[in-house]
Amino acid sequence: MFLDLKNRKALVVGGGEEALRKVRLLLKTQALIEVVATELHPELTDMSVWGSIYWLGHGFHEDQLDGAALVFVASDDETNERVSAAARARSIPVNVVDEPELSTAITPAIVDRDPLVIAIGSEGAAPILAQGVRARVESMLPPQLGAYVKRAESLRERVAEHVPFGNRRRAFWTKFFFGPLKDIFISGNGDFNAELDKLIADEAHPAQGRVSLVGAGPGDPELMTLKAQRRLQEADVIVYDRLVGPGILEYARRDATRIAVGKTPHQPSPKQADINTILIREAKAGKLVVRLKGGDPYVFGRGGEEQAVLEAEGIAVDVVPGITAALGCAASIGLTVTHRGQNRSFTLLTGAGEDGVVEHDWAALARPGNAFAIYMGVGNAGHIAARLIEAGIDTAVPVTVVENGTLANERSFVTSIARLGEAMLENNVAGPAIIYIGLAKAAVSADVLSFPGRANELQRAAS
C-alpha cells in the first residue's frame, strides 16, 4: 500500500502493541497521527508527550474520521467492526489488524530501506511465503541502501545540471545504483566523493566498461554469493561457461546480453583468445561485463589469465570468489576435506594437462595420509590411478567420486584406488565430477573396498 500521507491525517484506533506497530510505520511518513485509545502503551505515551502523535482520548466516534486518509484499527471486536463500517461508509481505506474481512486496505510484508520500500503481498493466501520472499529480498539489499537512496535524492539537482537528459542521465543513474560507486558507499572503503565526481564527469564522454570475474559456485544457485547475484543484476553483458547451469542465469538482469563460451571437452569450442576478444570488445564499448564461471574463477578457471589480458588493455577487473567444486561437492555429500588424525592437508589437482594427460609428483601424492581432489579427471581416472599405484600408493586408499555435485542429478560413489578406472566406467560417469583420493565419508576398511560392487552397496546404504 503506497499512499502519500504528507500533512494528511491517519487515525489509529487502539493503544496496544499492535497499534504501536502501525504507529511506527506511520512515523516513517509525514502523516498527522491521531490515536484513539483508553490506555496507551508506554511507548505511545512518550510519543504523545513529545508531540509526534496526538492522543484523542478514549471512545471512538465517527467524526474522528473527518479528513482521515487512512485508518488502522487494533481494538476490541466490537470497536473493530464499528470503525471498519464507519470508514467504509466514508470510503476511507481501513486496515483492521488480523481481520481481512473488515479491511479494505491490506498491509503487506515490507522490506524497508526508507525511502525505498518493497511490499510483498499474497492477498492473505500465503503469508508464510510472503515472509520467506521478504527474507530473501531483505538479504539482497544492504542495510545502507536507504541512506544511498537519500543520497541520490540530494544529488538530483546537481546531476540534472551536469549530465544531459536522456541516455546519458539514465546511464549515470544506472551506474550510480548498480555500479561500483554503490559498493564504495556501502562498504565505506574508498573515497566516495571523488568517485562520484568522476562518475559525473565521465558522463560527459562515455566511460570504459569493466569486467567482473564472477564465481557461480558448483551449480546450485543458492550457493552463489550475494555479491555474485548483485553483479548478475548489474551486468550489461554476461559471458558464461558451460558449467554454469540455467538456474544461475535466472538471477541475471533480464535485458543483459548473454554470450555462451563454454568449452566442451573433445568438441570444437571457443578458444581462450576468442573469449578474451569478446571481453575486451564489450568492456571497451563501455559495458559492465560479467565473466561468469563455474565454481571459483581462480581455481582451474583461467581467471588469472583473463585478468592479465584485460589489465594489459587497461580494463578494470574485479573478482568475486565462488565455492569451488571440490568444496561444494564435499559439503553436498557430507565429506569433510580435512579431518583431525586423518589428513593435515588437502590438495586441488587437475587431471587434464594441456595435451590430455597430466603429470604430477606421483611419489609425493602417493604417500600415506594424503588427500586430494582431482578436477577434470574423468577421462584420465584410470591413468591417474595407475600412476599412483606405480608410485606405491596403498591400493586400498578410498576414493569418492561426486558427479554433477549440488545439482538435481548429483550422484556419488565410493571405490578404491585399485578399482577407480573400472568404477568410473561401471557408473557411466559422464558429467563433471570431482574425484577425491584418500577421502571417504565413513571410515571404510580395505576389505570392503576390495570386493567389486561392495562400494556401491556401501554408498546405497549410506544414502
Query: Toward ligand SAH, which CB reaches closer, 279 or 325?
Result: 325
Distances (CA, A) of 374 to 51, 294, 378, 399: 68, 16, 9, 11
Tell me whether residue 220 is one of the annotated catalytic residues: no
Contacts of 354 (CB under 8 A, 6+ apart): none
Query: Toward ligand SAH, which CB reaches closer, 431 or 452?
Result: 431
Number of residues that bind ligand SAH (CB under 6 A): 23
On whether the CB atoms of residues 458 and 445 are closer than 8 A, the answer is no
On whether the CB atoms of residues 239 and 219 are closer than 8 A, the answer is no
Phi-psi region of 254 (alpha: psi -120 to 50; beta: other; left: phi over 0): alpha
For residue 139, give the C-alpha cell: 538479504
Of 229-237, 288-296, 436-444, 445-453, the window that binds ligand SAH (rule: CB under 6 A) is 288-296
Distances (CA, A) of 22 to 27, 85, 90, 149: 9, 20, 21, 24
Tell me whether residue 183 is one of the annotated catalytic residues: no
Of 77-85, 95-103, 412-420, 430-438, the window that binds ligand SAH (rule: CB under 6 A) is 430-438
Q: How far is the CB of 119 from ligand SAH (least distance, A)?
A: 37
Per-residue three-class SS string for 22-77:
HHHHHHCCCCEEEEECCCCCHHHHHHHHHCCCEEEECCCCHHHHCCEEEEEECCCH
Query: Toward ligand SAH, which CB reaches closer, 127 or 247?
Result: 247
Burial class (CB in 10 A: 0-12, 13-18, 19+), 212: buried
Tell me which residues in 329-358 interact with ligand SAH (CB under 6 A): 329
- Cell numbers 571437452: residue: 265
Q: How far is the CB of 180 from ligand SAH (least distance, A)?
A: 24
Q: How far is the CB of 426 from ligand SAH (least distance, A)?
A: 18
Of 49-57, 229-237, 427-435, 445-453, the window that binds ligand SAH (rule: CB under 6 A) is 427-435
Q: Which residue from 60, 176, 300, 372 is in contact with ligand SAH, where contact means CB under 6 A?
A: 300
Query: In the beta sheet, which residues pair with residue 71?
Result: 11, 94
Which residue out of 150, 227, 263, 284 is catalytically annotated? 263
From CA 330, how far away is CA 336, in angstroms rounded?
A: 7
For residue 323, give the C-alpha cell: 565455492
Tell me which residues in 190-219 interact with ligand SAH (CB under 6 A): 218-219
- My answer on whether omega of the bond before 115 falls inside 30° of 0, hence cis, is yes
Query: Toward ligand SAH, which CB reaches closer, 15 or 432?
Result: 432
Tell me which residues in 306-325 interact with ligand SAH (CB under 6 A): 324-325
Nearest CA to 346 among 329, 321, 322?
A: 329
The angle, 0 to 180 degrees and rounded to 10, between the axes of the packed helices 180-187 and 192-202 is: 170
Query: Toward ligand SAH, which CB reaches closer, 301 or 398?
Result: 301
Q: 373 in helix, strand or coil? A: strand
Q: Which residue is nearest to ligand SAH (CB)?
A: 295
Per-residue string for binding with ligand SAH, 240-259, x by CB under 6 A? ---x----------------
Which residue out of 241, 287, 293, 441 is catalytically annotated? 241
From CA 121, how far away is CA 1, in angstroms rounded?
A: 10
End-to-end CA distance of the chain: 48
Per-residue string for binding with ligand SAH, 382-421, x by CB under 6 A? --------------------x-xxxx--------------
Asked if 292 touches ligand SAH (CB under 6 A), the answer is no
Of 127-135, 184-192, 291-299, 381-389, the window that binds ligand SAH (rule: CB under 6 A) is 291-299
Backbone φ and ψ for 21, nearest 5 degrees, come out as -60, -45
Q: How far is the CB of 301 from ligand SAH (least distance, A)?
A: 3
Of 27-35, 83-91, 222-230, 287-295, the window that binds ligand SAH (rule: CB under 6 A) is 287-295
Query: Toward ligand SAH, which CB reaches closer, 163 or 279?
Result: 279
Asked if 296 touches ligand SAH (CB under 6 A), the answer is yes
Nearest CA to 254 among 235, 241, 239?
A: 235
Q: Which amino acid is at 125?
A: A
Tell me which residues in 358-377 interact with ligand SAH (CB under 6 A): 375-376
- Cell numbers 565430477: residue: 433
Q: How far is the CB of 374 from ligand SAH (least distance, A)?
A: 7
Per-residue string for binding with ligand SAH, 18-47, x by CB under 6 A? ------------------------------
Asked if 93 touches ligand SAH (CB under 6 A), the answer is no
Per-residue string for binding with ligand SAH, 100-129, x by CB under 6 A? ------------------------------
Q: How far is the CB of 263 from ligand SAH (least distance, A)?
A: 9
- What are the catalytic residues? 241, 263
Residue ranges that bind ligand SAH, judged by CB under 6 A = 218-219, 243, 293-296, 299-301, 324-325, 329, 375-376, 402, 404-407, 432-434
